[in-house]
Amino acid sequence: MNRRAGILLPVSSLPSKYGIGCFDQAAYDFVDYLVSAGQTYWQILPLSPTSYGKSDNSPYQSYSAFAGNPYFISLDALVEEGVLTEQEVADADFGKQAWTVNYKKLNENRYPLLRKAYERSNISADPEYQQFLQDNSWWLDDYALFMAVLHHFDEKIWLEWPEDIRLHWGYAVDYYNQELYFEVEFQKYMQFKFSQQWNKLKAYANSRNIQIVGDIPIYVSVNSTDVWAHPELFQLDEYRVPVATAGCPPDSFAADGQVWWNPLYNWEAHRNTGYDWWCSRLWYMFRMYDVVRIDHFRAFDEYFSVPYGSKSAADGHWEKGPGMELFDTVRWRLGENQVVAEDLGLMTDTVRQLVKSTGFPNMKVFQFGFDLADTGFGNDYLPHNYSENCVVYTGTHDNETIVGWYQGLNDQMRSLVRDYLCDHATADEDLYHSFIAMVMRSPAKMCIVPMQDHLGLDNRSRLNVPSTDKGNWCWRLKGSQLTDKLQRQILLTTLRNGRLNWDNVPKD
């Protein structure tokens, strides 16, 4: 078995002088840093477009299951093309704090620059662009029109649009495509530049023997192209309002459960089409990434249904998902691909059996090994109980940092953790090294550590707090934090625990 390691760092968290991480030189430098640190994987979060406002720019509440986030387009690359000037980019206000993302400033000031680039580009004469339009029309046409109409009606959710376009009637689609022609084309231009730049970055990573672990949410946002253009695939009423929403019952993340407001799938409709939409979605993701992590995988077995409009998950109940039938169909149509099943949350025998039947590695989070409800040595999340076919994390984007987690434990739990580590000597502020070494030496074939944990940062650098909608997805890495000392530390820990990427070791 090839034991390998990687680092979790969202693209948005990369260092950048333009307010948010993107596909600029900092991304290429981070790939080089991964190489020098002996890593194999760069895990990111969904690259899909997010909205500023109620969703707080969550990558798990996107306008599309297929489109890319225009925030990630490199402005430096557009300057090199000659469609923006260095002065125009330098004059834009994206926020002054290098350690956080100011989404309000981005929303106000990045799109005008991208529009200038589009207007100066003469993009319609580019054969590569024309090929992109042809290859992606099956999702791009609806997406570009959806975004154009959304802006036309001052960002109102599509359920509040006039009836003809809300119901996606053919003559209304034709009318708005003509009426909003240049806005539709601007949206297509941004998707082309995103795709062009992302493919270049991924090719560079692969050339350096770094694999990209992408992340796809199981659900889509109610305010998305997918629900608007394909209502038959979701649980909607005759007015296309969701009848139920996704969520989860009480767990370690939220004592009262969570209501996510994502519409649920009409699995019978998907089955009747041979799961076309899901096969198309996964085919597209398998091209974008080397490994695909599917979020909330357990909902393919059973999903939690909350009546639409309910503020509490206490009103919800479990319903059966498509199970193995979906993945048999995907494997038959798309062949074998690398998938990670995010099976965290309430586990049942049927969920365990589904994950086992797929053969996909599942996830283990070290912090969960010390859940107060299950502190025995039989806890599935303790490293000595892992199988080889799993991916271990110190924590995910939804967890506290490992330092913040340990700081929040009471004295009894801290003692229990140190007993398990056989480490009562290391100072509290340095104990994160021991946590990382513990997961690195586990049997899991993949070990992913968030960048914040390698840096020993506390919860001020946490990425997301589930069930909250303010202040999330903002943390950014500063370039000065990627030191030679840290690189050597990660490299030696990776080497000592048999996870070095030997493809990047000089053969001579």
Residues serving a catalytic function are 295, 342, 398
234 strand-pairing partners: 265
What is the distance between the alpha carbons of residues 53 and 35, in angstroms, rounded to a whole number?
Answer: 37
Amino acid at 175: Y
Q: CA 261 from chain center: how many Å?
A: 18
- The pairs formed by 312-319 with CB atoms below 8 angstroms and a separation of 24 or more are 312/256, 312/257, 312/259, 313/247, 313/248, 313/249, 313/250, 313/254, 313/256, 313/257, 313/258, 313/259, 314/256, 314/257, 316/247, 316/249, 316/257, 316/259, 319/264
Interacting residues of 424 by C-beta distance below 8 A, sequence separation 6+: 418
What is the distance between the alpha carbons of residues 239 and 163, in angstroms, rounded to a whole number?
Answer: 10
258 strand-pairing partners: 248
Alpha helices by DSSP H, listed for 241-361, are 267-272, 276-288, 324-334, 349-358
Element (H, E) at 411: helix 411-421
247 strand-pairing partners: 259, 304
**Integer angstrom CA distances of residue 267 from 332, 384, 498:** 19, 38, 43
Buried b vs exposed e over 297-310: b needs ≥16 C-beta within 10 Å?
A: bbbbbbbbbbebee
What is the distance between the alpha carbons of residues 116 and 396, in angstroms, rounded to a whole number?
Answer: 38
What is the distance between the alpha carbons of residues 83 and 203, in angstroms, rounded to a whole number?
Answer: 24
Is residue 121 classed as helix, strand or coil in its secondary structure?
A: coil
Interacting residues of 502 by C-beta distance below 8 A, sequence separation 6+: none
| Residue whose tokens read 């231009």 | 189
Rounded to 10°, the helix 181-207/127-152 angle is 130
Interacting residues of 272 by C-beta distance below 8 A, sequence separation 6+: none
What is the distance between the alpha carbons of residues 131 and 334, in angstroms, rounded to a whole number?
Answer: 23
Rounded to 10°, the helix 103-119/181-207 angle is 100
